[in-house]
């Protein structure tokens, strides 16, 4: 009875990592294996035979059809990325005005792949720079925002490496007096950064907008929804489209 339970547990463990696939090496030997891990850049494959033996081998030891099966059967692990978004704001007086200010906003995104052997294949990063209407200091119904900029890039990061994206600077202007005399304008409010993987799925969302931070974890599909926003579009405080 104990032996039966041991065999049952072993079988469940083998197949929990994924379905077994039949593969053939370049010497014509066939076997049934479960693919535990595959790294495309190194060609390293970790497989488990249905007998319980675990091997680390090169993908190249298998024939072409088997290589394709192994790639398709391999678990799709996410790379562990460290995301650092940096935003700089510089303002200057507009002409001779004591209250109108020009604001230059610069942003950069640094992506570091902390994984030891998992690459991040080419995905898509999109950064939004959002501003608030300063007329909200003089009008009760003017508390809304605007997407000042939407910029994208296509990162591909090998394990252990990093890349940096520098967004094009954005210039805006606004009335800096926070009283009933405010005539309006757009002052930087915060950023949203959305990273999609090579399959178009949302890998991660970063934001400096506190109200949105609370919604990210509680709202399924919010990343795809935010990606629909366009530059110059008006938005509510929670980034719902106002147009």
**CATH class of the structural domain 2-73:** mainly beta
Spatial CB neighbours of 36, under 8 Å, sequence gap ≥ 6: 17, 46, 47, 48, 54, 75
User: Rounded mean pLDDT of 14-35?
Assistant: 80
pLDDT at 18: 63
Torsion of CA 221, 222, 225, 229, to 10 degrees: -160
Best CA proximity match to 149, nearest among 107, 183, 110, 202? 107
The ranges of the chain annotated as CATH 2.30.30.700 are 2-73
CB-count exposure of residue 241 (10 Å: 0-12, 13-18, 19+): middle
pLDDT digits (tens, 9 = 90+) for 145-174: 999 999 999 999 999 999 999 999 999 999
Residue recorded with tokens 């090579």: 198
pLDDT at 78: 79
pLDDT at 9: 31
43: left (phi over 0), alpha (psi -120 to 50) or beta: left
**CATH class of the structural domain 81-235:** mainly beta
**For all residues of the chain together, what is the average pLDDT?**
88
* Residues facing 22 on adjacent strands: 32
pLDDT digits (tens, 9 = 90+) for 60-76: 999 999 999 999 888 87
Is the pLDDT score of 231 beyond 90?
Answer: yes
Please say whether the beta carbons of 78 and 145 come within 8 A: no
The ranges of the chain annotated as CATH 2.60.40.10 are 81-235
Is the pLDDT score of 8 beyond 70?
Answer: no
pLDDT digits (tens, 9 = 90+) for 90-100: 999 999 999 99
- Taking each continuous run of H as one helix and of E as one strand, the counts in the chain are 4, 13
């Amino acid at each position: 009875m104990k032996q039966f339970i041991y065999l049952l547990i072993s079988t469940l463990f083998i197949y929990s990592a994924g379905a077994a696939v039949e593969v053939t090496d370049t010497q014509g030997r066939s076997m049934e294996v479960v693919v535990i891990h595959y790294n495309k850049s190194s060609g390293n494959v970790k497989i488990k035979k249905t007998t319980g033996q675990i091997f680390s081998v090169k993908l190249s030891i298998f024939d072409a059809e088997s290589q394709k099966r192994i790639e398709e059967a391999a678990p799709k692990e996410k790379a562990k990325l460290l995301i650092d978004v940096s935003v700089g704001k510089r303002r200057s007086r507009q002409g001779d005005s004591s209250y109108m200010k020009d604001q230059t906003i610069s942003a950069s995104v640094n992506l570091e792949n902390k994984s030891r052997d998992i690459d991040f294949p080419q995905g898509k990063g999109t950064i939004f720079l959002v501003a608030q209407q300063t007329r909200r200091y003089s009008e009760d119904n003017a508390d809304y925002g605007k997407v000042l900029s939407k910029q994208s890039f296509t990162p591909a990061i090998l394990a252990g490496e990093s890349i940096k994206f520098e967004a094009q600077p954005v210039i805006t202007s606004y009335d800096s007096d926070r009283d009933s005399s405010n005539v309006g304008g757009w002052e930087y409010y915060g950023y949203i950064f959305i990273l999609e993987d090579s399959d178009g799925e949302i890998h991660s969302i970063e934001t400096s907008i506190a109200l949105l931070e609370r919604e990210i974890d509680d709202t399924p599909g919010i990343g795809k929804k935010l990606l629909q926003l366009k530059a110059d579009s008006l938005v509510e405080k929670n980034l719902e489209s106002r147009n």
